[in-house]
Amino acid sequence: MSEEVRAIKHMAFAVRDARAALESYQRFLGVPEDTEIHEYQGSRNRVALFDLGGVEYQLCESMDPDGRFATWINEHGEGLHHICYEVEDIDAALEHAVKSGAALRECKACKITGSHPHPEGFVAFLDNDAAGIEIEFMQVYTPEELKEYESVKGI
Ligand SMILES: [Zn+2]
């Protein structure tokens, strides 16, 4: 079945201070000392990115008080914000979800609803949480699709 989840692509946590949150993972869980914090001007997020137990973690801090993660923290407190599930065919996954009663949620960074290109693949968000956690799907680019994305973006 093409809508099946293949793997967890990443887990994203909403945090007030990405560096402080990262320090806990470094101190208690052996995350490397040279882990970098990335600043994304497009989405206005500061993100500590690392691999732990075969899953990518993203500790996400909004750079603005009304940012996506800051707003979420005001409502829920810090914690797991969304899980990104890797699927083979994002269109099939979305069709299956919508048929099952899901709605799509706008990507806050791109202002696009439904499948659209991100740096690693095509992504989409559901407007339906699972156990309070937002659902993101990603169809990871083939090497050819990645080349095309990078040539369009000029990176
Ligand atoms: Zn997007």
Q: Ligand 1 centre from 61 Cα, in Å?
A: 17
* pTM recorded for the entire structure: 0.90
Q: Give me the CATH number covering residue 105.
A: 3.10.180.10
- Hey, is 132 helix, strand or coil? coil
pLDDT mean over 37-50 = 94
pLDDT (tens digit, 9 = 90+) per residue, 53-105?
999 999 999 999 999 999 999 999 999 999 999 999 999 999 999 999 999 99
* Cα–Cα dist 103/74, whole Å: 24
Type of residue at 103: A
Task: Tell me how many helices (H) and strands (E) the chain has.
Answer: 4, 10
Q: Ligand 1 centre from 108 Cα, in Å?
A: 7
> CB count, 10 Å around CB of 104?
17
Count: domains in the chain: 1
Which residue segment(s) compose the domain that 24 sits in? Answer: 5-153
